[in-house]
Each structure stands twice: as C-alpha cells, then as structure tokens.
Structure 1
Amino acid sequence: MKVTFIGAAGTVTGSKTVVESNGIRILIDCGQFQGIKPLRELNWNPLPVLASSIDFVLLTHGHLDHCGWLPRLVSQGFKGKIYCSSATKEVAQLILLDSGKIQEEEAERANKEKYSKHEVAEALYTVAQVEKVFPHFRVVKTNEPVSLDAEISAVFVNAGHIIGACSIELQLENKTLVFSGDIGRDNDVLMFPPTKPKKADYIFLESTYGDRLHPDTDAKAELETYINATFAKGGTTIIPSFAVERAQTIMFLLWQLKQEHKIPDIPYIIDSPMGVGAFDIFFNNLKWHKLTLEDCKAMSRMFVMITDYKDTIEAIYNKGPKVVIAASGMVTGGRVLSYLERYIGLPETTVVIVGYQAEGTRGRKLLEGAKEVKIYGKYYPVEAKIHEIEGLSAHADQKGLLNWLSELENKPTKVFLVHGENQPADELRIKIKENYGFDCSAPLMGQVFEI
C-alpha cells in the first residue's frame, strides 16, 4: 500500500491524499489551495497521478479547501465516484457553484480593468465545469460500511466542524486508516461533538490549531461590545465569514443578543447567496446540528438576506449603521470585498474576524496590522478597527485534537499530521509523543510512504 501527500502537507489548504492498494487508487479530499501566491498557483498544476487513474474520491466535508479542486479533477479525466454524506453533497454543490461563479466574475473583471499580469485572465474553472462534478456524487449513511471494492470499505462518522463533516475510517489490506478531516470542537455552539476513533493502524490527523488553545472568552459578549461601540460612532460592522456553519453561528449569537435587547435595532444583513443557501441546508438537515426548526425560523426573520448583487449595492450605499455578514471567511474573494472597498478606509468601521486566516490571505494581513490592502488591483488604506474573535473557530484546538485520540484501544503504527502549517504541526507532534508515545510525523508535500 502506498500513501502520497499531494496537498495540505505543511499548509492548511489544498487537502488531497492518495491511497493506492492492489491496483485501486483512492483520493481522500480534493481541495483547492488558498493563501499565498505560490500555493494558489499549485491549483493550475495537474495532479502527480493521472486524474483518470483515480477510482474513488472520499470527501470529508464541503469546505473549498477540501472539495474545491473537484471541477479540475473531472475536467482532467476523473470518471469515478465521489462518496460523502448527504449534507456534505449539498454543501459542496453550493460552495462549488459559488466558487465557479466567483472565478468567472473575477477573470472577467481582471480582463475588463486590465489588472491581471496575464495577457488574458482565465477562471480556474467555470460554473459549467462545476456542474459536471455533480453526477459523480454518491451519498453514504454515517456509521455504515460502504464497499468500494471486494476488499476495501469505508465508514463515515461525525466529525463536528460543519454540517455534514465526517472523519473516514478506511479498511484495506487488514489495516484501518483513519482520516480525521477537520475536527470540530466538543463544545461547539451549533455542531455536535466529534466521534472519536476506537481503532486505527494509521491516523491522518489535521493540525490547524496544533500549537494553540482557544481562549476561554465569551464570543457573544465580544460581538455585543464591538457592535455597540461601532453603532455609537455611526459606523458599520463587517463580519467576513465562511458561509457554512460560521455564518449560521454568528446569526445564532446575534439572534440571542437581539432577544436579550443587548444590541441595537439596526439592519442585520446576510449578504451571500451561498450563506443564504447554507441556511436552507440547516433547515433540511436538522439531525446534523443543535438548532430546532423553530430556532431556524425565528432566526431567519431577524436578518435581511441578500442574494441579488443589486441589493448588495443598495446596502453598501446605505449610510446608516448596520451589521453585515458576508463571504469569504478569509477575505480572499466574494461580496465582502465590495463592502471593504467602501468601508475599510473609514475609522468608524469595524471589521470582526471570526475564523482561521491562512498565510497570505487578506484576513491574515488585516490581523497582522496591514496599513493597506489590495482589492481588485487597487490599494485601500486600512483605517477601520480590526478585531478578532478567536472563540468561534470550528476547529478543535491542541487540547481538542489530543482529546480526539483519547479513546483509541490500540497504539497506532503511525500518526501523520496534515492540514497544518509547519510550526503548529510540529508542536502537536511533540504533544502527541509526550501524551501517548505515538510515532508521529508531519509529511512534506509530495512525500510518499509505503505501508
């Protein structure tokens, strides 16, 4: 058996791991690289294995860094099946369609305004290419084995993190390989705690927050403080947010604050077709989260939900105080950029960062105190107040990752740390060795291991 790490090794995005056994090739996740330019450029490269030679894709969840390269995979000849939970299929379809649309729009805008370094800017993939992915999806039930081949099966189990997210237990050659996917928190506002593995010979564990602990702070109280302070200045609060789970978590907290009469009676806007669509997925998949149908209905009444870009323009030029939740979560694209073009240079504006910001993203630059940001080829001075609410991460922290390993009944042969930058992965490696004595390493991009 051979395992090749072709993404999310030494970095947090582009999750892709190839498992080869007895002539069968399985790709665990098929994510898009995000962040610094050298990583983004990898999205244009073909895989080190032929796409047509891959038999199956097993998808842990629907975030872009786990599913966002599927259109390229299919366009390069993949003809196999993509297995995932029902909710992940819905999320992935939503996110991929939105991504394809953004790719097309940004290429068109770059060509029109001539700010691309390329003679002709091209989309990484189009909406039409996205739609060709959908016939490959196959929905699986959680906790039930799925037969991939005569001697290969997989079990998908709840990972928390976002709606539909799963860890995957792969059985082959009398061994159990466990792929964590992204692991959620035991005390998440919306998601149920992740299921911990009981047996594993090899573990492929995410390490996004491998070097830190989430602060024991009150995210709801922080939101209250920032919104009221901004309102007092007559300003706008902008919350760049991942459209799936994070946007709904923010909505839930704002809804609670509004019920408690702790925040002002101003417009609360969800400006993201994907965020609105994701809320529909919450309605349709109640078993995946803690909200009741009544909660969902009551929350939806509080917010102005924008899908049409004409309404975005109207909201942007509305001078009154407001709170806007808009994608993308790392400020890499989407409608949040349109708001920031107008508001980032105003000192009465507050930008609240509520999730992980990968290296090289605008969100990371804002957190690091950038004095200006580049948006659509132009530079804008940063005069807005930038705040971070760390307690809202959908990822387990170092303690949570260690706890996820706590119910193993056997000592795994090896733990591979993926989906993390080098320092977090290495600090987690040390902690796992100290706590459990497991052999542990952080593979490099392109590294191959024989099992």
Structure 2
Amino acid sequence: MKIKFIGGAGTVTGSKTLIESNGVRILVDCGLFQGLKVLRELNWEPLPVLASTIDCVLLTHGHLDHCGWLPRLIDQGFKGKIYCTGPTKAVAELVLMDSAKIQQEEADRANREHYSKHTPAEPLYTVQQAECVFPFFKVIYTNESVVIANEITAVFSNAGHIIGACSITLNLEGKTLVFSGDIGRDDDVLMFAPQKPSQADYLFLESTYGNRLHPDLDPKKELEKFINDTINLKGTVIIPGFAVERVQSIMYLLWELKKEGRIPNVPYILDTPMGAGVLNIFQENLKWHKLSSDDCHQMCSMFKIVSEFQQTIRIIEDPQPKVILAASGMATGGRVLSYFEHYISMEKTTVIIVGYQAEGTRGRKLLEGADEIKIYGNYYTVKAKIVQIEGLSAHADQKGLVNWLSDLKNAPKFIYLVHGENQPADELRIKIKDQYGYNCSAALMGSEIEI
C-alpha cells in the first residue's frame, strides 16, 4: 500500500492524501492551497496521478482547505464518488460557490484595473465548474461502515470542529488507517466533543496547534472589552470570520452579551452570504450542534444580514459605530477586504482576529504587526488596533490533540502528523513520543510511504 502526501503537509492548507491499494486509488480531502504564493501556485498544477484514475474522494469536512480543489479535480477527469456527511455536502456546496464567485470577481477586477501580471487574469475555476461537483457527492451516515471499493470500508465519526466534520477510519488489506481531519475542542461553544479512535494501525493526525495551548481566558469577556472600548471611541469593530461555525459561534456569544446588557445597542452586521447560508444548515441539522431552533431564530434576529454588495457599500459609508462580522477568516478574500479598504487606516477601528492565520495570509501579517497590507493591488497603512482572541479557535490545541489519542487500545505502528506548519508538528511529535512512546513524524509534502 502506498500513501502520498500531496497537500496539507508542512502547511495547514491544500489537504490531500492519496492512498493506493490493490489498484484502487482513494483521495482523502481535496483542499485548496492558501496563503504563501509558492503554495497558491500549486493550485494550478495537476495532481501527480491522473484525476481519472482516482476511484473516490473521502471528504472530512467542508472548509475550503479541505474541499476547495474539487472543481479542478472534476475538470481534470475525476468520475468517482465524493463521500461525506449531509451537513458537509451542504457546507461544501456553499463554500465552493463562494470560492468560485470570489475568484471570478477578483479576475474581473484584476483585468479592469490591470494589476495582474497575467493577461488576461483567469479564475482558478468558475461558478459553472463549481456546480459540476455537486452530482458527485454521496451522503453517508456517521458510525456506519460503508463499502467504498472491493474489501475496503470507511467509517465516518464526529470530529467536532465544524458542522458535519468527521474523522475517517479506513479498513483495507487487513490494516486500520485513521485520518483525523480537523479535530475540534472538547469545550466548543456550539459543537459536540470529538469522538476518539479506539483502534489504529496507522494514524494521520492534524497538528495545526501542535505547539500551543489555548489560553485560559473567557473569550466572551474579551469580546465584551474590545467592543465596548471601540464603541466608546465611536469606532468600528471588524471581525474577519470563517463563515462556517466560527461566524455562528461569535454570533452566539454576541447574542448572549447583548441579552445580558454587556455590549451597546449599535448595529451588528453579518456580511457574509455564505455565513448566512450556513445558518440555514444549522437549522436543518439540529442534532449536529448545541443550539435549539429557537436559539437560532433569536440569535439571527439581532443581526442585520447583508446579501447584496450594494448594502455593503452603504454600511461602509455610514459613519456610525458598529460591529461587522465578515468573511474570510484569514482575510484572503471576501467582503471583509472591502471593509479593510475603508477602515484599516483609522485609529479608532479595531480588528479582532478569532481563528488560525496561515503563513502568507493578510490575517497573519496583521497579527505580526504589518505597517501596511496590500488589497487588490493597492497598499493601505495599518492604523487600526489589531487584537486576537485565541479562545475562539475551532481546532483542538496541543493538549486536546494528545488527549484525542487516549482511547487507543493498541499502540499504532506509526503516526504521521499532517495539516500543520513544521514547528507545531515537530513539537507535537515530541509530546506524543514523551506521553505515549508512539512512533511519530511530520509528513513531508510530496513524499510517499509504503505500509
């Protein structure tokens, strides 16, 4: 059996792991690379094997870094099934459509304003190509064994993280392979605690926060302070939010703060069409999260939900203090950039970073103290206050990742650390070795192993 790491190794984006067994090829996740240009350019490269020779895709969840390359895979000849849960299918469809629209809009803008070195600038894929993915989805139920090829079965189990997210256990050639996907937190605001694996011969574990512990601070209190401080200055709060689950978590906390009279009565704006669409998915999949139907309705009623870009323009031009929740979470694209263009150079603006920021993203640059950022070919001086609330991450920290292994009844033959930058992955490797004695190493991009 051969396993090739063709994405999500040494980085937190572009997740793709290829398994070859007895003539069957399985791709676990099919994500988009984001952040550093050297990684983004990989999105334009074909896979190391022909897409038409891949039998199926197993999709852990619907975030862009796990599903965003599917339109390219289909376009290059993939004909198999894409197995995932019902909520993941719904989320992935929203994410892919949003990704395609953003890419088309940015290509059109680059051509109008002539800031791309490509003539003409082209999107990685179009809305039509994104729509071509949808018929390939095959919805499965959690904790049920699914036959995906001759004598190969897969079991999906809840991973927390976002709605529909799962870890995947593959049984083939008498071996058990476990792919963690992205692991959520035991104490998440909205998601249930992730299920732990009990058996694994080989385990492929994410390591996003492999070198960090989430701070023991109350994110609700931090939100309260940052919002009140900014509104008292008659400023604007901008929260770049991941449209799936982080946006809903922040909405929930803001709703609680407002009910408790702890934050002021100013406009609270949700400006992410995809985030609004995810609210519907929450309503339709109540067993996947902690919110009741009534909670969803009441929470949403607090926010002005923006759909058309003309509304965005009017909000930007309105000088009154306000709180804006807009995608994308790493500020790599989406409506949040329009707010940045206007507000990032104002001292009374506060930008609250609430999730992981990959290398090369605008969010990472802001956290690292950049004096200016580039948006659509133009540079903007950063005078806004940049703050971070680490307690709102959707990923397990080092302690959570190590604890996720605690129910294993056997010592795995090997653990490969994926979906993490090099230092976090290496520190997690040391921690796992010290606590359990398991053989463990960080996967290398482009490397292939035989088991």
**What TM-score results when the alignment is normalised by the length of structure 2?**
1.00
Equivalent residue number for residue 201 of structure 1: 201
Which secondary structure does the structure 1 equivalent of 2:7 belong to? Answer: coil
Cα distance, 1:117 vs. partner? 1.4
Equivalent residue number for residue 187 of structure 1: 187
Which aligned pairs between 1:240-255 and structure 2 lie closer than 5 A?
240-255=240-255
Q: Deviations over 1:108-141 (max 9, x none)?
A: 0000000001121110000000000000000000
State yes or no: 1:96 paired with 2:96.
Answer: yes
Equivalent residue number for residue 2 of structure 2: 2
Aligned equivalents of 2:298, 2:96: Cα separation in 1: 28
Equivalent residue number for residue 75 of structure 2: 75
Aligned equivalents of 1:149, 1:268: Cα separation in 2: 49
Equivalent residue number for residue 387 of structure 1: 387
Aligned equivalents of 1:287, 1:116: Cα separation in 2: 46
The residue type equivalent to 1:202 in the other structure is Y
Which secondary structure does the structure 2 equivalent of 1:339 belong to? Answer: helix
Equivalent residue number for residue 86 of structure 1: 86
Equivalent residue number for residue 358 of structure 2: 358
Equivalent residue number for residue 124 of structure 2: 124
Equivalent residue number for residue 290 of structure 2: 290
Cα distance, 1:20 vs. partner? 0.5
Which aligned pairs between 1:304-319 and structure 2 lie closer than 5 A?
304-319=304-319
Equivalent residue number for residue 36 of structure 2: 36
Aligned equivalents of 2:8, 2:297: Cα separation in 1: 37
Which secondary structure does the structure 1 equivalent of 2:406 belong to? Answer: coil
Which aligned pairs between 1:333-412 and structure 2 lie closer than 5 A?
333-412=333-412
Aligned equivalents of 2:246, 2:317: Cα separation in 1: 26
Which secondary structure does the structure 2 equivalent of 1:183 belong to? Answer: coil
The residue type equivalent to 2:29 in the other structure is D
Cα distance, 1:169 vs. partner? 0.3
Which secondary structure does the structure 1 equivalent of 2:19 belong to? Answer: strand
**Structure 1 alignment gaps of length 5 or more:** none
* Coordinate RMSD, CA, aligned: 0.4
Aligned equivalents of 2:149, 2:61: Cα separation in 1: 22
Which aligned pairs between 1:58-69 and structure 2 lie closer than 5 A?
58-69=58-69
Equivalent residue number for residue 25 of structure 2: 25
The residue type equivalent to 1:437 in the other structure is G
Aligned equivalents of 1:315, 1:179: Cα separation in 2: 43
Q: Deviations over 1:243-263 (max 9, x none)?
A: 000000000000000000000
Which secondary structure does the structure 2 equivalent of 1:35 belong to? Answer: coil
Equivalent residue number for residue 223 of structure 1: 223
The residue type equivalent to 1:128 in the other structure is Q
Aligned equivalents of 2:138, 2:207: Cα separation in 1: 28
Cα distance, 1:60 vs. partner? 0.1
Runs of 4+ in 1 over 4 A off after TM superposition: none
Equivalent residue number for residue 162 of structure 1: 162
Q: Deviations over 1:388-428 (max 9, x none)?
A: 00000000000000000000000100000000000000000
Equivalent residue number for residue 432 of structure 2: 432
State yes or no: 1:443 paired with 2:439.
Answer: no
The residue type equivalent to 1:394 in the other structure is A
Aligned equivalents of 1:425, 1:223: Cα separation in 2: 30
Aligned identity (percent) is: 70
Aligned equivalents of 1:289, 1:402: Cα separation in 2: 24
Aligned equivalents of 1:97, 1:362: Cα separation in 2: 22
Number of residue pairs matched? 451
Q: Deviations over 1:278-318 (max 9, x none)?
A: 11111111000000111001101100000111111111111
Stretch deviating more after TM superposition (114-123 or 177-186)? 114-123
The residue type equivalent to 1:425 in the other structure is A
Which secondary structure does the structure 2 equivalent of 1:190 belong to? Answer: coil
Q: Deviations over 1:48-90 (max 9, x none)?
A: 0110000000000000000000000000000000000000000
Which secondary structure does the structure 2 equivalent of 1:6 belong to? Answer: strand
Cα distance, 1:149 vs. partner? 1.6
State yes or no: 1:330 paired with 2:334.
Answer: no
**What TM-score results when the alignment is normalised by the length of structure 1?**
1.00
Which secondary structure does the structure 1 equivalent of 2:129 belong to? Answer: helix
Cα distance, 1:432 vs. partner? 0.5
Equivalent residue number for residue 210 of structure 1: 210
The residue type equivalent to 2:232 in the other structure is A
Q: Deviations over 1:207-259 (max 9, x none)?
A: 00000100010100000001101101111000000000000000000000000
State yes or no: 1:270 paired with 2:270.
Answer: yes
Q: Deviations over 1:366-409 (max 9, x none)?
A: 00000000000000000000000000000000000000000000
Equivalent residue number for residue 178 of structure 1: 178
Which secondary structure does the structure 2 equivalent of 1:135 belong to? Answer: helix
The residue type equivalent to 1:184 in the other structure is G
The residue type equivalent to 2:92 in the other structure is A
The residue type equivalent to 1:180 in the other structure is S
**Structure 2 alignment gaps of length 5 or more:** none
Aligned equivalents of 2:337, 2:297: Cα separation in 1: 29
Aligned equivalents of 1:294, 1:112: Cα separation in 2: 46
Aligned equivalents of 2:52, 2:318: Cα separation in 1: 51
Cα distance, 1:150 vs. partner? 2.4
Which secondary structure does the structure 1 equivalent of 2:242 belong to? Answer: coil
Aligned equivalents of 1:197, 1:26: Cα separation in 2: 21
The residue type equivalent to 1:9 in the other structure is A
